Each structure stands twice: as C-alpha cells, then as structure tokens.
Amino acid sequence: MQKVYIFDLDGTLVDSMPTGVGIVLGFLDEKGIPYPDDIVTALTPLGYKGSAKYIADHLADDFTVESVYEYFKEQTLRAYGETIPLKAHVKETLETLKSQGYRLNVLTASPQLLTDICMKRLQVYDLFENVWSIEAFGMTKAEEGIYLEAAKRLGVEPNQCIMADDNLNVLKTAKRVGMATVGVYDASSKDVESEMRRIADKYVVDFAELII
C-alpha cells in the first residue's frame, strides 16, 4: 500500500490559481503580448522562474527573464503572505492522513520563499515531512527526473508514492515514472477534467474525498 503522499501546492492545497493565473496573464495583457489558449496548462508546471523564461524565450523576446520574474515576484509576495486561502477541508484531511500513518510532502513549482510564507501563515507547514520547491531540484515538474529524485530523497521507490496535483501534465509525467496519481479539481483545469479523470488513479472534487 502506498503511504507516501507528494502534494502540489497551488490549486491543490491552496486556492491560489486565480491569483497566479491573473498575475501571468496580467503581465502578458499589460504588455500586449499574444499567447495561445493553453498557456495556463503549459506554464503551471514550470513555476514562476520557468514561466518567466518561457515568456522571455518564446513570447516576448524584448523582455529578459529577470525582468519578467521580478514582476511576478513583486505581485505574488503580498498575495502568498496575506490573502491566499487553503482549499476546503484541506487542513483536517491532512491531519487525518497523517494520523493514519501517511508521510506527507509538498512539491511545488512556486518559489520556496512564497511557499514557506503561505504554508506557515495557514498553519499547515508542520504537517509535512518535506516542503520542496522545484528550486531544490533544478528541474521543473514537466521533467520525469524530478519525481525520480523526490522518491530517492524520500528513500522509497516511485511506485510507493502518490502524486496529488491539479495539473494534467504533472499527472501524466508522474505516472510515467510509476507513481500513483490523484487528480484534484481546480477551476483552472476544469477544461481538461475528463482527461484528468481518465489519467489519474483517483480524482477528487473535494479534498475530503482523499480519506479512505
């Protein structure tokens, strides 16, 4: 039985996707930069730094990666520190899972600074064995290697891990390395909900549905 959870943060544990999506699209709209319809799905696994690089490299070559990232950082610091809430039933579900003997971990594309500030404010940080940003791996969540390395650091095989995420691409990638997957509903990914239900081993609309 798999007893090691790896949770995404944004759109999975916290209701931050409207903020993150608004910041990214706000930058593109403000600067008059055109973008494809699937931009949110493409950028979410990359984190803010990866998104800044993608935008600078592919959508707005007159901006540097640093300038785009600074815009994102300034806009998000206040939101993560003051306003972003937990999604419904997250804290009590995590407490129950922990009491049932599950090892709880976070792997997020958000910067470590923002992640720590947000989770400590919401009083869930201490429930986790590890709280990892992709910064700690030098990889994005679009790469298979990050899941293999996370399992290695946890001292388990990938097939002993359960990856819970609201992003379709993350579920596909984690599944390719042998992890079990839980798709978590978020409004930002509702357009691909049917495919997430097909790909994931379990799909939950309410976080409390994780309790067996």
Q: pLDDT tens for residues 113-123?
A: 999 999 999 99
Reported as a single tens digit per residue, the pLDDT across 81-129 is 999 999 999 999 999 999 999 999 999 998 899 999 999 999 999 999 9
> Residue 115: its pLDDT value, please?
95
Mean pLDDT, range 167-183, rounded to an integer = 97
Q: Cβ distance 134 to 146 under 8 Å?
A: yes
> Residue 4: its pLDDT value, please?
98
Q: Cβ distance 43 to 54 under 8 Å?
A: yes
Does 30 have pLDDT greater than 70? Answer: yes
Mean pLDDT, range 41-60, rounded to an integer = 85
Mean pLDDT, range 156-173, rounded to an integer = 97
Does 25 have pLDDT greater than 90? Answer: no
Long-range CB contacts (within 8 A, 24+) of 116-120: 117/77, 117/80, 117/81, 118/9, 118/14, 118/16, 118/80, 118/81, 118/84, 119/9, 119/13
Highest average pLDDT, of 7-11, 30-34, 69-73, comes from 7-11
Q: Which of 11-20, 130-139, 199-208 has the lowest mean pLDDT?
A: 11-20
Rounded Cα–Cα distance for residues 188 and 168 (Å): 11
> Residue 19: its pLDDT value, please?
84
Q: Cβ distance 183 to 8 under 8 Å?
A: no
CB count in 10 Å sphere of residue 13: 27
> Residue 37: its pLDDT value, please?
86
Mean pLDDT, range 48-54, rounded to an integer = 87
> Residue 1: its pLDDT value, please?
64
Mean pLDDT, range 137-150, rounded to an integer = 96
Q: For all residues of the chain together, what is the average pLDDT?
A: 93
Could you tell me which of 212, 207, 209, 186 has the C-alpha nearest to residue 90?
Answer: 207
pLDDT greater at residue 7 or residue 55: 7
> Residue 84: its pLDDT value, please?
95
- pTM, two decimals, is 0.81
Q: Which of 26-30, 94-98, 107-111, 170-174 has the lowest mean pLDDT?
A: 26-30
> Residue 117: its pLDDT value, please?
96
